Structure 1
Amino acid sequence: MIKTTVYLPEELELRLDAESSATGVSKAELIRRGIAMLLENSARPKQSHQLPVFNSGRALTAEAMDDMLYEHIKERAARR
């Protein structure tokens, strides 16, 4: 986790203290939950940029990809 500092108005701090005491949940956890709720309910899109789409023209199974990777590693090792 990354530490950050948040300045709260006194009334909000008192309410946060009371909620923490009443629920047994730390103030930090209550703040994290509040931020998560705010972001989940935001009208903004959750992903600001669409990921690029790449079509190789053929689909490979996991086994086929493993085989290709194994062959590549084997070829590189042979060159050493």
Structure 2
Amino acid sequence: MVKTTVYLPDDLEVRLDAEAAATGVSKAELIRRGIALLLDSSSRPKQARSLPVFTSGRPKTPDELDDAVYEHIKDRSTRR
């Protein structure tokens, strides 16, 4: 797991404390569940990007395809 700091308004902190005490579930677990519910119910498409298409004048060998995919991923990661 990755540790993340979240700042909550006082009223949400009070409600979170009360829910954790009433259910016996940790505040961290309640926050994880809330985030999962939000993301699972999102109307955004799960895969927003299509796979890259490579065109050439001749068919590529599997090694050439692997190299092309690797280069595409490397190029995209350096842009971020």
Q: TM-score range by the shorter chain?
A: 0.5 to 0.7
Aligned to 1:8: 8
Deviation per residue, 1:4-26 (Å, 9 max, x gap): 00000000000000000000000
* TM-score, normalised by the number of residues in structure 1: 0.61
Q: Which has the higher contact order (CA 8 A, sep 6+)?
A: 2
User: Highest CA radius of gyration, 1 or 2?
Assistant: 1
Task: Indicate yes or no: 2:45 matched with 1:41.
Answer: no
CA separation in 1, counterparts of 2:28 and 2:51?
Answer: 33
Unpaired stretches in structure 2, ≥5 consecutive residues:
54-80
Runs of 4+ in structure 1 deviating by more than 6 angstroms, as ranges, are none
RMSD: 1.5
* TM-score, normalised by the number of residues in structure 2: 0.61
Q: Secondary structure of the equivalent of 2:39? A: helix
Between Structure 1 and Structure 2, how many residues are aligned? 53
